[in-house]
Each structure stands twice: as structure tokens, then as C-alpha cells.
Amino acid sequence: MLRTIRAFEERVHVEYAEGNIPGATHLYAGQEAIAAGCCAELRPDDYISSTHRGHGHAIAKGADLTRMMMELFGREGGVCRGKGGSMHIADFSVGMLGANGIAGGGVPIGCGVGLSAKVRGTDQVGVAFVGDGGANQGAFLESLSLASVWQLPVVFVVEDNGYAQATASKYHLRGLDVARRGEAFGIPGAVVDGCDFFAVRDAAVEAVRRARSGGGPSIIDCKTARFFGHMEGFDQQAYRGSGEAEKLRAERDCIQRFTASVTGAGLVSPEEFDAIDREVADEIARAAEAAKAAADPDPAELLTDVYVSY
Amino acid sequence: MERMLTYVQAIGEAMSQEMSRDPSVVSFGEDNIGGMGCDGKLGNAWGPTQGLHEKFPDRIFDTPITEAAFVGAAVGAAASGLRPVVDLLFADFMGVAFDQLINQAAKLRYMFGGQGTAPLVVRTFYGAGMRGGAQHSQSLYSLVTHVPGLKVVVPSNPYDAKGLMTQAIRDEDPVIYFEHKMLYWTPGEVPEEPYTVPFGQSRLVRSGTDCTVVALGRMVGFAETAAEELAAGGVSIEIIDPRTISPLDEDSIYRSVEKTGRLVVVDESPPRCSVARDIVALVAENRFEALRGPARTVNTPHTPVPYSPALEDRYIPGPDSIVRAVLEAVEAGGWNGRRQDRLAGTQSPVA
Ligand SMILES: Cc1ncc(C[n+]2csc(CCOP(=O)(O)OP(=O)(O)O)c2C)c(N)n1
């Protein structure tokens, strides 16, 4: 899963540079351990709501790679039929309720999932992903309040990659860790190393168990690293210190860490990892080829799906 | 030949000159300077505030992602002696700050009996064409024009962009300043010295005799392209750019319609309750007898903005749809026997 997300993002980076992806694209590379660690704990009938950086969440929840790639290319067979693009990647069939162009906009939707599960009497869980920047939105704090009052089965996952566009977390997040903001609402929080799959996974196990068993909301605050710029195309990353991106790749790569610890423990051999890499590479290549070959949406699609017609 | 600046540079120059002139002008927003708290140098990529932080280090800064809070803070700051110029980035994000805009900023002067004013400017960029998808492409000016108390500015070229920004900063009321993102790098002649373009005064872009075309923002350029094509077919249009839609220069529109007898209004927002429909309604109420036939509107379809280029390119009204609407208006308005030669050469679906 980690490898699949990384390979997808690296391919998207290349396809964007070649002009095959027409619109705003925010890459997730570097943050894979969070999507993979959290979604590994979820069932297919659980739901997630995402940020503008949603490819990793979609893949981890089980979205189809080819249809995702087609969506990024703006093609007919895309998951949103070419109408959404990268920033609105979604696959309702696997419980991925959508990436969001509005920072913090998806968090209340996570609460809605929790409410829905509660009212319908199921034990489903909602996970709302949000960036460190988005966590400053009123909607985030209001969602904590609501989730706490209604004791909703929701997990708020904060992905602090150090930046909100070009503004540093250390400037815009003052005071306590975001996880501890929950204390004021009686919501337990954990701060974890978001580059460590197992750390994220352990926190997710506990938070999801709490939600599923009627214990209410939790916050997982993941400190992570973004490898590419904020957004493809525009961002020259002039705000980063020199060598910072290279240093992150060398020292805070969640995939290297995962591979090292698993091979170290003798669970998976390097050869087996190589085989996985090859399989993933093939799959991504097939997705990109299919996206290139896919047709543009029918012009009539412009007018569909505004309302449900009776 | 005068000095050339791009649209975005013209806005930046107005901000810089007003900040030099008036120490109460401040500016803030997300990545307004780009790079607060960072180790590297400032990185604001494409906004008009580039370079301003060096000049005014204490009066221009970044905010956390807190639209409701910083727009509301601008209202409070404005009511207590500052002149904030707030950067809302994409107009779509206005939704997050809507309470502060429509219930606080817009009402302050009226509701408190004129005790105070809220002289703030909210800069925001709008419009389709950048493959931004449904939440980064909307033209929401029609929405805020509906709200009394807000002044709404939609510059179509660099000269107006500078003069309207200067006026907006000096204005005593809350102004929402809509910058079309596809116009950012358009160059135009811009005088170096500060000047204002007054609100409520339209610009006559082109005079003509057969049909009045009122166009907003990016649509003004498209109307000019359409005018060339129509002229080749013998149809002469008069183009009016209102420049501000609240207040609106109604008189100039009425005078033009009295002259041409026909009206087409072009606006890049969905049709229902749009500025285009509003202007048609004003003319119908006040100058019905001047119209020789039904007026026409050119809007986007009544849909969100699609992502795929194949769809987005069809979504945006272009010169073709303006030509078509003018020919329909002219046709319906009667040609007194001269129609044949006038339409020769134009590709009208109705000709
Ligand atoms: C309401 C709103 N304000 C501003 C933006 C512009 N914007 C897009 S992403 C972003 C930074 C988000 O930072 P963060 O939440 O930390 O996520 P990251 O990009 O670091 O993953 C901003 C300001 C937006 N999309 N929505």
C-alpha cells in the first residue's frame, strides 16, 4: 500500500510535468504511512473524508487506480467522470467521500458519518483527515465540539507536514499540539510520528476501537513530511531551507523505515519487496496508459448531475 | 507610449502606493507574503503582494487558515482606525467567511445608525479557465451584489485594476474586489502616479449603433473580439463595462439602450439571479419602450464548474456566444430591410 501510493504519486508528478494532467494537483508522497496506517484499521463499510491532498487516502481505502488516473487526466472513465479532478478525487463505492478544495471543509462531513452510523445503529466509523493548516479552521474546532457533545464514532486525523502552502506550522500553530486541543472538549488525543507506519497503526487501532465500541471521538496528530511542493506546477518551494527536501527524503521516508524494520525482523525478504515493487510499477504503468487512451467526457456531461431528475 | 503593467502588477502598485501614503493601510491573508515561520526566503508566487513585505514589514503579514476570523478581524480593525486589505485567495473560500461579510461588514454602518464605517477591502480571485474544478473556479460576484452594504468591483483591465484598487482602499465602505485569475498576466497601459477610478461609473469600451453589450470582467475582452466579428458582418455594437456592479452605473446603460434599442448582457456566473439578469430587469422596468425586441443574456450553464478541459471550455461563455446573442437580439429587434447585407459574412445560427 505504501509503495502503491508512492508510485502513483511519482507517476502523477511526471505526467503533470508532461502536461497530461490539466488541473491543480497536490501530491501526498511522504505522508503514505498515515493513510495506510489509518485505513488498514477500517472496514470497507467505514467512511473517510479527505483533504485537497486526497490520492493517498483514496488508494488506501481501496479506490481503483486506473479510474483515479483517468480522473486526474479529466477523462470519461474517471471516478468522478472527469468532473472532479485531483482535488475532488472520490470513490463512494469504497467509502471515500471525497477530497476537498476547501481546507477544513471535509471535517464536519466526518462528523456526519458518525451521526449516520449512530442513528442507523451500525458500528461504522468515520475518519476525517485534515492538514495542520485546515485544523485552524473554525469548522475543525466546531466539529470537535459537536463530535464530543454527540459522542460520535469519529476519528480526526491531523497530518502536520510542517506547512500550510508556504506558511510554516511553527508560525500558524501556536500553543498546544492539535491533539491536545481535544482535551478542552474531552476528546482523547495522541501525537505520533507520522513517518512511522507502526506508530500510526497503533494509534489508529485504539481510536477506531474506541469509536466502534461507543467510546466517542479521538484525535490522532501525525507529524509528517511532504516530499514535493504544495502543489504541482506553481510551487518552487523557495520557503524551504536549502537541502531541506533532500534531507526529509533521506531521513524521514516512511517507506524506507517500514522496509528496514520489516526486513530487519525477518518478516519479508528484500527479494519479496523487489517483487512487490515490480508488480506495483506494472499496475501504475497500466493505469497511466489507460488514462492516456481514454476518451474525453461527452459534452452533454456538462449538464448532468446538477440535480437528481424526477 | 505609456508604461505597461500586468493586471496583477497594477493591483500591487496601487496597494504599495496607498500603503506609502496612508500608514493605516494594512494587508493580511493566507500566504499573503508567503513564508511566515519558514527557514527559506518568502515564497508568495503569484499575488500582487509580492515584494511588499520588504517595504512594509510591520503592516503586511500571513494568517493561519482562519477566513471567518481574519475577515471578521478586518471588520473590527476597520471600525477602529485601520484600512485592511484582506486576501481571500479564491472567491470560493468566501463561503467560510460569509457571516463576517454579509452579517457583519455589510451591516455595520446601517444597523448602528451610521455611527461607524468598515473601510476594508476583500481581494479575491475568481473565474473559470484554470482547471480548478468546482470549488476553485466560481464567479461569485452576483451572490454578494445581492447584499446591500457591500461594494462590488470587477476590473477588466490593468488601468481600471489600479484605479479601482486605489479607490477601494480610500473608500469608506467594505469593498469586495474580484480579480479574474485569467487576466492576471494581461498587460496594459498604467500611469505611474496614483489615481482613482470612481465607483458607479462605467467605461464606454466601444461605441456602436445596433446593440448595447454590457460585459463584466474577463467577458469585456470577449465582447471586444465579438465586436470585430460582428463589425465584419455589418453589425455595430456598443460595449459598456460597468466596472463596479454595486453601485451600478444604470444611467449609462439606459442611455446606450435608448440609442441602440437592443441589449445583451454578458456575465460569467450561472444565470439564475445573476448580474446579467438583474441588468435586463432594470432595463425592462425603466426603459422598456426603448427596447425594439427582447434582451438577451449570456451566462454560464446553470451547473457547477467542471474539471475536464473538454467540459470546462464549453462552460465558459466566449466570443461566439456573444456574437450569437447579439444576432438574436438584433434579429428580434427588426432590421428595417437592411438585414441581408448586415448579416453577410457572420456565422449566425439564426441568420
Ligand atoms: C478555506 C480555504 N482556505 C484556503 C485554501 C487554500 N489552500 C489550499 S491548501 C492550503 C494549505 C493547507 O495546509 P494544510 O491543511 O496544512 O494541508 P497541506 O497542504 O499541508 O497538506 C491552503 C491555504 C483552501 N483551499 N481553502
CA distance A309 to chain B (A): 14
Rounded to whole angstroms, what are the CA distances from B88 to B110, B143, B176, B185, B215? 24, 16, 10, 19, 24
Q: Where residue B333 falls among pLDDT bands split at 50, 70, 90?
A: confident
3-class DSSP state of A291: helix
Whether B45 sits inside 8 A of A24 (CB atoms) is no
Q: How far is the CA of A13 from the centre of ligand 1 (A)?
A: 19
**CB proximity A294 to B under 8 Å:** no
Sheet holding B25-29, edge to edge: B60-62, B25-29, B83-90, B121-126, B175-180, B151-153, B244-246
Strand partners, B206: B239
Q: Where residue B341 falls among pLDDT bands split at 50, 70, 90?
A: very low
| Of the candidates B21, B39, B97, the residue with the CA atom closest to the CA atom of residue B65 | B97
To 10 degrees, the CA torsion angle through B144, B147, B153, B156?
Answer: 50
List the single residue in A with minimal CA-CA distance to B42: A239
Residue A181: how many other CB atoms lie within 10 Å: 21
Strand partners, A223: A160, A193
Is B180 catalytic? The answer is no
Report the relative pairing of strands A167-168 and A163-164 from DSSP bridges: antiparallel
**CB proximity A11 to B under 8 Å:** no
Contact A80, A73 (CB under 8 A): no
To 10 degrees, the CA torsion angle through A150, A152, A155, A157?
Answer: -30
pLDDT tens by residue, B83-106: 999 999 999 999 999 999 999 999
Identify from A83, A160, A235, A244 which residue to disrupt to test chain B contact, counting B C-beta atoms within 10 A and taking the largest count: A83
Interface size, chain A vs chain B, as Cβ–Cβ contacts under 8 Å? 176
Q: How far is the CA of A134 from the centre of ligand 1 (A)?
A: 6
Considering only the beta carbons, identify the residue of B65, B301, B308 that sits closest to A136: B65
pLDDT tens by residue, B236-262: 999 999 999 999 999 999 999 999 999
pLDDT tens by residue, B51-71: 899 899 999 999 999 999 999
Strand partners, A193: A223
Residue A3: how many other CB atoms lie within 10 Å: 19
In B49-108, the residues whose Cβ lies within 8 Å of chain A are: 62-69, 92-93, 95-96
pLDDT in the model for residue B347: 45
Whether B38 sits inside 8 A of A165 (CB atoms) is no
pLDDT in the model for residue B40: 74
Whether B44 sits inside 8 A of A166 (CB atoms) is yes
Residue B43 in this model has a pLDDT that exceeds 80: no
| Of the candidates A61, A45, A181, the residue with the CA atom closest to the CA atom of residue A113 | A45
What is the residue-level pLDDT of chain A in tens, covering all 310 positions?
999 999 999 999 999 999 999 999 999 999 999 999 999 999 999 999 999 999 999 999 999 999 999 999 999 999 999 999 999 999 999 999 999 999 999 999 999 999 999 999 999 999 999 999 999 999 999 999 999 999 999 999 999 999 999 999 999 999 889 999 999 999 999 999 999 999 999 999 999 999 999 999 999 999 999 999 999 997 778 888 888 989 999 999 999 999 999 999 999 999 999 999 999 999 999 999 999 999 999 999 999 999 997 7
Whether A238 sits inside 8 A of B35 (CB atoms) is yes
Q: How far is the CA of A29 from the centre of ligand 1 (A)?
A: 16
Contact B40, A240 (CB under 8 A): yes
CA distance A279 to chain B (A): 30
Considering only the beta carbons, identify the residue of A74, A103, A166 that sits closest to B308: A74
Q: Which residue has the cell 450553464?
A: B301
Max alpha carbon distance in chain A (Å)? Answer: 60
Q: Where are the domains of chain B?
A: 2-191, 203-335
Q: How far is the CA of B97 from the centre of ligand 1 (A)?
A: 15
User: Which one of the listed residues B136, B146, B180, B302 is annotated catalytic?
Assistant: B136
For the purposes of burial, counting CB atoms within 10 Å of the CB of B70, is it exposed (0-12), middle (13-18) or buried (19 or more)?
Answer: buried
pLDDT in the model for residue B46: 77
To 10 degrees, the CA torsion angle through B36, B41, B46, B52?
Answer: 70
Q: Same topology for domains B2-191 and B203-335, yes or no?
A: yes
Q: Would you give the DSSP letter of residue A96?
A: B
Share of chain B above pLDDT 70, in %: 94
pLDDT in the model for residue B45: 66
pLDDT in the model for residue B7: 98
CA distance B310 to B162: 34
**In the CATH hierarchy, which top-level class contains the domain B2-191?**
alpha beta
Residue B346 in this model has a pLDDT that exceeds 70: no
Identify from B50, B130, B307 which residue to disrupt to test chain A contact, counting A C-beta atoms within 10 A and taking the largest count: B307
Ligand 1 contacts CB of residue A230 (under 6 A): yes
**In the CATH hierarchy, which top-level class contains the domain B203-335?**
alpha beta
For the purposes of burial, counting CB atoms within 10 Å of the CB of A242, is it exposed (0-12), middle (13-18) or buried (19 or more)?
Answer: exposed
